[in-house]
Amino acid sequence: MKKSPQKKNRAGSYQFRKKVTPWCILFIPMACTVWLKYYPIFSAFFISLFNYDPINQPGKFVGFQNYVDIFQMQGYWDSWKNTFILLALQLCMCFLIPLIQALLLNELVRLKKCLTTLYILPALIPTSVNVIIWKWIWHPDYGVANQIVKFFGGQPQTWLSDPNLVKFCIIFPGVLGGGLTVLLYLSAIQGVSTDIMESAALDGCTGFGRIIHIILPNISFMVFIQLIMCVITTMQLLDVPYMYASGGPSGASTTQGIFIYNAFNQDLNYGRGSAASVILLLVIAAMTMIQMRFEKMEKE
């Protein structure tokens, strides 16, 4: 039996609406994303090609001279060194330790909910308040850190005024508590199928072997996501090092973020700041692509 022309038109209209409706809903978010995310990126690259003058925009065209100039600055390379040292500390203390904490929490039978609540509470404290508390802890005269050092017979340290200790002091507060990262790991661990866990137990895979061969492979997606986020956020560090030591002492805590901030706000060199921003974007993109490539190779 043939369909009537009216029914065919209705079916065609429904299919058309079905295809068009998602695009209509997504149009405004996509337009805002392009405007607020991608337009500033292209604007930064455009500005980096000029000796930018905000009064007589865009200023004198210099090509890639801004890139050549920052490559010849020792302070620029020192900021990269500081950024990668902070990244190494972040991966050791704030990426691996929360995973261990989540694995231990998962083994608890009692007080699990109570401890989970205690882990999330530090994440509710604003960054500025957290920095003020820890600056008091690291204070060389009356800080708690030196009181603990003295109790164990050690020598008081200047902490945030010591170029060799300031990076450790900036990253260490992230170790305590664990925050949302611990809860994300714990949720992923608890999402592992009980059938898989029971089968592993019947096969004699318990204890540390269960963690290595069962739990970690099944939560690798969460570990990978947290690894990418850890690398991206650490490479962009600006507010926390700036609030702790303003890039000091002697530039020991000057990250790429602080270098770019100073180029814009202290040196008023918008071309240099934009060039450094573009390079930082490319480095982070390259590191993320490498991580994704390794993850894909591991799955294959």
Q: Identify the CA nearest to 181 among candidates 86, 92, 95.
A: 95
**In angstroms, rounded to a whole number, what is the distance separating the alpha carbons of residues 241 and 147?**
24
Residues of the chain with pLDDT > 70: what percent? 92
Confidence of residue 68 (pLDDT cuts 50, 70, 90): very high
Q: What is the pLDDT of residues 51-66, one digit of tens each?
A: 888 878 888 888 899 9
- Round the average pLDDT of the chain to a whole number and report it: 84
Handedness of CA 186, 188, 193, 198 (dihedral sign): negative
Q: Locate the domains of the chain by residue range.
A: 5-48, 68-299
Region of 63 (left: φ > 0; alpha: ψ -120 to 50; beta: rest) is left
Compute how many other C-beta atoms are within 10 angstroms of the C-beta atom of residue 296: 9
Helices and strands per DSSP (H, E), number in the chain: 17, 2
Q: Could you tell me the two tokens for 226?
A: 């947290």
In whole angstroms, give the CA distance from residue 264 to residue 47: 12
Angle among Cα 177, 180, 185 to the nearest 5 degrees reads 100
- Residue 1, pLDDT > 80, answer no
pLDDT band at 7 (very low <50, low <70, confident <90, very high): low
- Sign of the dihedral defined by the CA atoms of residues 186, 190, 193, 198, in that order: positive
Q: Letter for the amino acid at 204?
A: G
This prediction has a pTM of: 0.83
CATH topology of domain 68-299: MetI-like fold (1.10.3720)
Query: Nearest Cα to 75, choosing from 269, 282, 281, 284?
Result: 269
Does pLDDT of 197 surpass 90?
Answer: no
Rounded Cα–Cα distance for residues 182 and 169 (Å): 21
Can you tell me the mean pLDDT for 185-209?
79
Whether the predicted pLDDT of 113 surpasses 80: no
Give residue for tokens 């060199």.
269
CA nearest neighbour of 186 among 112, 124, 122: 112
